[in-house]
Chains A and B, each alone.
Chain A
Amino acid sequence: MEGNVAKEAALRQLAEIPGVVGSMVFDRSGAVTASVFPPVFELAGLRRLATKLAGDGYFQEWMAGEQPALELRYADGHVVLRALGEAWLLVLCTLQSNAQLVAMSLTQVVRRLRIETPPPVARPSAPPPPSAVDRLRSVVTAELGEHAAQALEILAAAGTRPKELQRAAAEIEKLVRLFISKKKAEEIGARMREILEA
Protein backbone atom coordinates (compact mmCIF):
# COMPACT_ATOMS: atom_id res chain seq x y z
CA MET A 1 0.00 0.00 0.00
CA GLU A 2 2.86 2.34 0.95
CA GLY A 3 4.51 1.41 -2.32
CA ASN A 4 1.45 2.50 -4.29
CA VAL A 5 1.33 5.86 -2.47
CA ALA A 6 4.98 6.45 -3.31
CA LYS A 7 4.34 5.49 -6.93
CA GLU A 8 1.41 7.86 -7.18
CA ALA A 9 3.55 10.62 -5.68
CA ALA A 10 6.10 10.00 -8.42
CA LEU A 11 3.36 10.04 -11.04
CA ARG A 12 2.01 13.31 -9.65
CA GLN A 13 5.50 14.75 -10.15
CA LEU A 14 5.15 13.83 -13.82
CA ALA A 15 1.66 15.30 -14.03
CA GLU A 16 3.08 18.71 -13.08
CA ILE A 17 5.06 18.85 -16.32
CA PRO A 18 3.24 20.96 -18.90
CA GLY A 19 1.64 18.78 -21.59
CA VAL A 20 1.54 15.59 -19.51
CA VAL A 21 -2.08 14.45 -19.29
CA GLY A 22 -1.61 11.52 -16.97
CA SER A 23 0.38 8.39 -16.28
CA MET A 24 -0.04 4.95 -14.85
CA VAL A 25 2.00 1.96 -13.73
CA PHE A 26 0.79 -1.51 -14.64
CA ASP A 27 2.31 -4.92 -14.08
CA ARG A 28 2.74 -8.04 -16.21
CA SER A 29 -0.68 -9.33 -15.22
CA GLY A 30 -2.25 -6.16 -16.58
CA ALA A 31 -3.18 -4.79 -13.15
CA VAL A 32 -2.91 -1.03 -12.74
CA THR A 33 -0.84 -0.54 -9.56
CA ALA A 34 -0.83 3.29 -9.63
CA SER A 35 -2.40 5.92 -11.84
CA VAL A 36 -2.71 9.68 -11.96
CA PHE A 37 -5.14 10.74 -14.66
CA PRO A 38 -7.79 13.42 -14.81
CA PRO A 39 -11.25 12.13 -13.77
CA VAL A 40 -12.38 12.13 -17.38
CA PHE A 41 -10.32 8.98 -17.90
CA GLU A 42 -12.24 6.04 -16.50
CA LEU A 43 -10.21 3.56 -14.46
CA ALA A 44 -11.95 0.67 -16.27
CA GLY A 45 -10.69 2.00 -19.60
CA LEU A 46 -7.16 2.34 -18.22
CA ARG A 47 -7.33 -1.23 -16.90
CA ARG A 48 -8.48 -2.52 -20.29
CA LEU A 49 -5.57 -0.74 -21.95
CA ALA A 50 -3.11 -2.13 -19.37
CA THR A 51 -4.43 -5.67 -19.80
CA LYS A 52 -4.22 -5.41 -23.58
CA LEU A 53 -0.66 -4.10 -23.54
CA ALA A 54 0.56 -6.56 -20.88
CA GLY A 55 -0.88 -9.46 -22.85
CA ASP A 56 0.58 -8.34 -26.17
CA GLY A 57 3.55 -10.42 -27.29
CA TYR A 58 5.05 -7.69 -29.52
CA PHE A 59 4.81 -5.16 -26.68
CA GLN A 60 6.51 -7.51 -24.25
CA GLU A 61 9.22 -8.33 -26.77
CA TRP A 62 9.84 -4.65 -27.51
CA MET A 63 10.02 -3.79 -23.81
CA ALA A 64 12.33 -6.64 -22.86
CA GLY A 65 15.64 -4.96 -23.74
CA GLU A 66 18.26 -3.37 -21.49
CA GLN A 67 16.85 0.19 -21.55
CA PRO A 68 13.43 -0.49 -23.00
CA ALA A 69 11.39 2.46 -24.14
CA LEU A 70 8.54 2.95 -26.54
CA GLU A 71 7.13 6.18 -27.90
CA LEU A 72 3.91 6.24 -29.87
CA ARG A 73 3.11 9.46 -31.69
CA TYR A 74 -0.44 10.26 -32.73
CA ALA A 75 -2.13 13.21 -34.37
CA ASP A 76 -3.35 14.68 -31.11
CA GLY A 77 -0.74 13.51 -28.67
CA HIS A 78 1.81 10.87 -27.88
CA VAL A 79 2.28 8.00 -25.47
CA VAL A 80 5.60 7.21 -23.77
CA LEU A 81 6.29 3.82 -22.22
CA ARG A 82 9.16 2.77 -19.98
CA ALA A 83 9.92 -0.59 -18.35
CA LEU A 84 10.25 -0.79 -14.56
CA GLY A 85 11.44 -4.33 -14.10
CA GLU A 86 8.28 -6.29 -13.54
CA ALA A 87 6.01 -3.37 -14.45
CA TRP A 88 5.66 -0.63 -17.04
CA LEU A 89 5.06 3.09 -16.89
CA LEU A 90 2.72 4.66 -19.43
CA VAL A 91 2.60 8.44 -19.85
CA LEU A 92 0.06 10.23 -22.03
CA CYS A 93 1.21 13.61 -23.32
CA THR A 94 -0.37 16.27 -25.52
CA LEU A 95 1.36 17.64 -28.62
CA GLN A 96 2.24 20.73 -26.65
CA SER A 97 4.50 18.82 -24.23
CA ASN A 98 8.22 19.45 -24.38
CA ALA A 99 9.74 16.10 -25.36
CA GLN A 100 13.13 16.88 -23.80
CA LEU A 101 11.60 18.01 -20.52
CA VAL A 102 9.37 14.94 -20.43
CA ALA A 103 12.35 12.69 -21.15
CA MET A 104 14.42 14.27 -18.36
CA SER A 105 11.59 14.03 -15.86
CA LEU A 106 10.91 10.46 -16.92
CA THR A 107 14.49 9.48 -16.17
CA GLN A 108 14.08 10.75 -12.64
CA VAL A 109 10.61 9.30 -12.13
CA VAL A 110 11.56 5.95 -13.60
CA ARG A 111 14.46 5.75 -11.13
CA ARG A 112 12.03 6.47 -8.27
CA LEU A 113 9.52 3.98 -9.53
CA ARG A 114 12.16 1.30 -10.04
CA ILE A 115 13.03 1.58 -6.37
CA GLU A 116 9.35 1.06 -5.58
CA THR A 117 9.08 -1.77 -8.09
CA PRO A 118 11.80 -4.25 -7.12
CA PRO A 119 13.27 -6.29 -9.95
CA PRO A 120 12.03 -9.83 -10.26
CA VAL A 121 13.61 -12.06 -7.66
CA ALA A 122 15.21 -15.05 -9.24
CA ARG A 123 13.41 -18.02 -7.79
CA PRO A 124 15.71 -20.82 -6.72
CA SER A 125 15.35 -23.35 -9.47
CA ALA A 126 13.62 -26.46 -8.30
CA PRO A 127 15.60 -29.63 -8.84
CA PRO A 128 14.62 -31.29 -12.10
CA PRO A 129 12.05 -34.06 -11.64
CA PRO A 130 13.64 -37.50 -11.52
CA SER A 131 13.76 -39.27 -14.86
CA ALA A 132 11.89 -42.52 -15.53
CA VAL A 133 15.16 -44.46 -15.21
CA ASP A 134 15.88 -42.88 -11.82
CA ARG A 135 12.38 -43.69 -10.61
CA LEU A 136 12.67 -47.27 -11.85
CA ARG A 137 16.01 -47.59 -10.05
CA SER A 138 14.53 -46.35 -6.80
CA VAL A 139 11.57 -48.75 -7.11
CA VAL A 140 13.91 -51.66 -7.81
CA THR A 141 16.16 -50.77 -4.87
CA ALA A 142 13.23 -50.27 -2.52
CA GLU A 143 11.45 -53.49 -3.53
CA LEU A 144 14.40 -55.84 -3.90
CA GLY A 145 16.82 -54.47 -1.32
CA GLU A 146 19.93 -56.65 -1.20
CA HIS A 147 18.78 -58.59 -4.29
CA ALA A 148 18.57 -55.47 -6.45
CA ALA A 149 22.05 -55.70 -8.01
CA GLN A 150 21.08 -57.83 -11.03
CA ALA A 151 17.96 -55.77 -11.72
CA LEU A 152 19.96 -52.53 -11.51
CA GLU A 153 22.44 -53.99 -14.00
CA ILE A 154 19.57 -54.67 -16.41
CA LEU A 155 18.41 -51.06 -16.04
CA ALA A 156 21.93 -49.73 -16.51
CA ALA A 157 22.33 -51.75 -19.71
CA ALA A 158 19.00 -50.49 -21.09
CA GLY A 159 18.76 -47.22 -22.95
CA THR A 160 16.52 -44.31 -22.04
CA ARG A 161 13.89 -44.70 -24.74
CA PRO A 162 10.44 -45.84 -23.56
CA LYS A 163 10.60 -49.11 -25.52
CA GLU A 164 14.01 -49.98 -24.08
CA LEU A 165 12.81 -49.20 -20.59
CA GLN A 166 9.67 -51.30 -21.09
CA ARG A 167 11.84 -54.20 -22.21
CA ALA A 168 14.12 -53.77 -19.20
CA ALA A 169 11.11 -53.60 -16.87
CA ALA A 170 9.73 -56.83 -18.36
CA GLU A 171 13.12 -58.52 -17.86
CA ILE A 172 13.29 -57.39 -14.25
CA GLU A 173 9.77 -58.67 -13.65
CA LYS A 174 10.76 -62.02 -15.13
CA LEU A 175 13.94 -62.11 -13.02
CA VAL A 176 11.95 -61.50 -9.86
CA ARG A 177 9.26 -64.04 -10.83
CA LEU A 178 11.82 -66.73 -11.56
CA PHE A 179 14.30 -66.21 -8.77
CA ILE A 180 12.72 -64.15 -5.98
CA SER A 181 8.94 -64.23 -5.65
CA LYS A 182 5.88 -64.32 -7.88
CA LYS A 183 4.00 -61.88 -5.66
CA LYS A 184 6.92 -59.47 -5.56
CA ALA A 185 7.17 -59.72 -9.36
CA GLU A 186 3.54 -58.66 -9.72
CA GLU A 187 4.06 -55.73 -7.34
CA ILE A 188 7.26 -54.47 -8.90
CA GLY A 189 5.86 -55.01 -12.41
CA ALA A 190 2.78 -52.91 -11.60
CA ARG A 191 4.89 -50.12 -10.11
CA MET A 192 7.27 -50.04 -13.05
CA ARG A 193 4.40 -49.99 -15.55
CA GLU A 194 2.86 -47.10 -13.59
CA ILE A 195 6.10 -45.12 -13.95
CA LEU A 196 6.47 -45.89 -17.64
CA GLU A 197 2.86 -45.04 -18.44
CA ALA A 198 3.05 -41.73 -16.55
Chain B
Amino acid sequence: MQYGAYVLAGVAIAVMAVDVVLAIRLRRAIVGGEVGQKWGVLTGLVALFFVGYLISPLALYYRLPPEYLNVLVFAVFLFGAIFVWVVIGIIRDTLTFLKLVK
Protein backbone atom coordinates (compact mmCIF):
# COMPACT_ATOMS: atom_id res chain seq x y z
CA MET B 1 0.00 0.00 0.00
CA GLN B 2 2.84 2.31 0.96
CA TYR B 3 4.64 1.54 -2.32
CA GLY B 4 1.49 2.30 -4.28
CA ALA B 5 1.37 5.76 -2.64
CA TYR B 6 5.01 6.40 -3.57
CA VAL B 7 4.38 5.37 -7.16
CA LEU B 8 1.35 7.68 -7.40
CA ALA B 9 3.34 10.53 -5.80
CA GLY B 10 6.18 9.92 -8.31
CA VAL B 11 3.81 10.02 -11.30
CA ALA B 12 2.10 13.16 -9.90
CA ILE B 13 5.50 14.84 -9.45
CA ALA B 14 6.49 13.97 -13.04
CA VAL B 15 3.22 15.27 -14.50
CA MET B 16 3.38 18.41 -12.37
CA ALA B 17 6.99 19.03 -13.44
CA VAL B 18 5.82 19.01 -17.07
CA ASP B 19 2.94 21.36 -16.07
CA VAL B 20 5.40 23.79 -14.47
CA VAL B 21 7.50 23.90 -17.65
CA LEU B 22 4.41 24.39 -19.87
CA ALA B 23 2.97 27.09 -17.59
CA ILE B 24 6.25 29.04 -17.53
CA ARG B 25 6.62 28.79 -21.32
CA LEU B 26 3.08 30.05 -21.85
CA ARG B 27 3.60 32.85 -19.31
CA ARG B 28 6.55 34.05 -21.37
CA ALA B 29 4.46 33.91 -24.56
CA ILE B 30 1.60 35.99 -23.10
CA VAL B 31 2.31 39.71 -23.50
CA GLY B 32 0.35 40.84 -20.46
CA GLY B 33 -3.06 42.29 -19.73
CA GLU B 34 -5.66 40.76 -17.44
CA VAL B 35 -5.16 37.29 -18.90
CA GLY B 36 -1.40 37.65 -18.48
CA GLN B 37 -1.86 38.61 -14.81
CA LYS B 38 -4.16 35.67 -14.17
CA TRP B 39 -1.79 33.32 -15.93
CA GLY B 40 0.98 34.61 -13.65
CA VAL B 41 -1.12 33.66 -10.59
CA LEU B 42 -1.85 30.29 -12.18
CA THR B 43 1.86 29.64 -12.82
CA GLY B 44 2.60 30.48 -9.18
CA LEU B 45 -0.05 28.01 -8.04
CA VAL B 46 1.34 25.30 -10.34
CA ALA B 47 4.80 25.89 -8.83
CA LEU B 48 3.30 25.74 -5.31
CA PHE B 49 1.54 22.46 -6.13
CA PHE B 50 4.81 21.10 -7.49
CA VAL B 51 6.54 21.91 -4.18
CA GLY B 52 3.62 20.31 -2.31
CA TYR B 53 3.84 17.20 -4.49
CA LEU B 54 7.56 16.97 -3.76
CA ILE B 55 6.93 17.23 -0.01
CA SER B 56 4.06 14.71 0.11
CA PRO B 57 6.17 11.46 -0.30
CA LEU B 58 8.70 12.87 2.18
CA ALA B 59 5.88 13.53 4.65
CA LEU B 60 4.86 9.91 4.21
CA TYR B 61 8.42 8.67 4.54
CA TYR B 62 9.17 10.70 7.66
CA ARG B 63 5.74 9.83 9.12
CA LEU B 64 4.53 13.40 9.49
CA PRO B 65 2.02 13.65 12.34
CA PRO B 66 -1.56 13.38 11.02
CA GLU B 67 -2.50 16.89 12.23
CA TYR B 68 0.23 18.38 9.99
CA LEU B 69 -0.66 16.02 7.13
CA ASN B 70 -4.28 17.11 7.38
CA VAL B 71 -3.23 20.78 7.18
CA LEU B 72 -1.16 19.94 4.08
CA VAL B 73 -4.08 18.10 2.44
CA PHE B 74 -6.57 20.89 3.12
CA ALA B 75 -4.07 23.51 1.97
CA VAL B 76 -3.85 21.61 -1.32
CA PHE B 77 -7.67 21.62 -1.49
CA LEU B 78 -7.73 25.40 -0.90
CA PHE B 79 -5.09 26.20 -3.48
CA GLY B 80 -6.78 23.74 -5.86
CA ALA B 81 -10.02 25.70 -5.49
CA ILE B 82 -8.17 29.00 -6.13
CA PHE B 83 -6.52 27.38 -9.15
CA VAL B 84 -9.89 26.38 -10.60
CA TRP B 85 -11.25 29.88 -9.90
CA VAL B 86 -8.37 31.47 -11.84
CA VAL B 87 -8.74 29.00 -14.72
CA ILE B 88 -12.46 29.79 -14.96
CA GLY B 89 -11.60 33.52 -15.02
CA ILE B 90 -9.16 33.06 -17.90
CA ILE B 91 -11.59 30.92 -19.88
CA ARG B 92 -14.43 33.40 -19.27
CA ASP B 93 -12.26 36.34 -20.44
CA THR B 94 -11.19 34.49 -23.56
CA LEU B 95 -14.67 33.27 -24.44
CA THR B 96 -16.16 36.72 -23.81
CA PHE B 97 -13.63 38.24 -26.17
CA LEU B 98 -14.37 35.59 -28.77
CA LYS B 99 -18.10 36.29 -28.23
CA LEU B 100 -18.78 32.65 -27.48
CA VAL B 101 -20.71 33.31 -24.28
CA LYS B 102 -24.12 34.92 -23.85
Q: Is B97 in contact with A175, judged by CB distance below 8 angstroms? A: yes
Partner of A177, one of B30, B33, B94: B33
> Are the CB atoms of A182 and B31 closer together than 8 Å?
no
Report the tally of A-B residue pairs with Cβ distances under 8 A: 29
B35 to chain A, nearest CB (A): 5
Contact yes or no, A147 B93, CB < 8 A:
no
Chain A contact residues, majority secondary structure: helix
Residues from chain B with Cβ under 8 Å of A70 in the complex: none
A-facing residues in B26-57 (Cβ within 8 Å): 30-36
**Which of B30, B31, B35 lies at the interface centre, i.e. has the most chain A CB atoms within 10 A of its CB?**
B31
| Docked complex Cα distance between A176 and B35 (Å) | 10
Asked if residues A178 and B31 are in contact (CB atoms below 8 Å), the reply is: no
| Interface residues in A, total, Cβ within 8 A | 12
| Docked pose: A182 CA to B35 CA in angstroms | 10
In the complex, what's the smallest C-beta–C-beta distance from A75 to chain B, in angstroms?
81
> What is the distance, in angstroms, from A178's C-beta to the closest C-beta of chain B?
5
Contact mask for chain A residues 153-181; partner B; CB cutoff 8 A; 1 contact, 0 none: 00000000000000000010011111111
Q: B79-102, CB under 8 A of A: which get 1 and which 0?
A: 000000000000001100100000
Quick check: is A136 within 8 A (CB to CB) of the other chain?
no
Q: Does A84 contact B (CB under 8 A)?
A: no
Write the nearest CB–CB distance from B96 to chain A, whole angstroms.
Answer: 8
Give the interface centre of A171, A177, A179, A181 by most chain B CB atoms within 10 Å: A179
0/1 interface trace, chain A 48-81, chain B, CB 8 Å (1 if under): 0000000000000000000000000000000000
Across the interface, which residues of A come within 8 angstroms of B34, CB to CB?
Answer: 177-178, 182
* B10 CB → nearest A CB, Å: 37
Q: Report A112 CB to chain B, min CB distance, Å.
A: 73
A185: which of B33, B35, B93, B97 is its contact (CB, 8 Å)?
B33
A185 to B32, CA, bound (A): 11
Q: How far is the CB of A71 from chain B (nearest CB, A)?
A: 72
Closest chain-B Cβ to A177's Cβ sits at a distance in Å of 6
The contact of B97 among A174, A180, A181, by CB within 8 Å, is A174
**Residues of chain A contacted by B97 (CB below 8 angstroms):** 171, 174-175, 178
How far apart sit A175 and B97, CA to CA, in the bound complex (Å)? 7
Q: Closest residue to A181 on the B side, CB-wise?
A: B32
Most buried by B among A171, A180, A185: A180
A-B contact pairs, 8 of them (CB 8 A): A175-B97, A177-B33, A178-B35, A178-B94, A179-B31, A180-B31, A181-B32, A182-B34
Known contacts A180-B32, A180-B33, then 19 further A-B pairs from the complex at CB < 8 Å, ordered by chain A residue: A174-B97, A175-B97, A177-B33, A177-B34, A178-B33, A178-B34, A178-B93, A178-B94, A178-B97, A179-B30, A179-B31, A179-B33, A179-B36, A180-B31, A180-B36, A181-B32, A182-B33, A182-B34, A185-B33
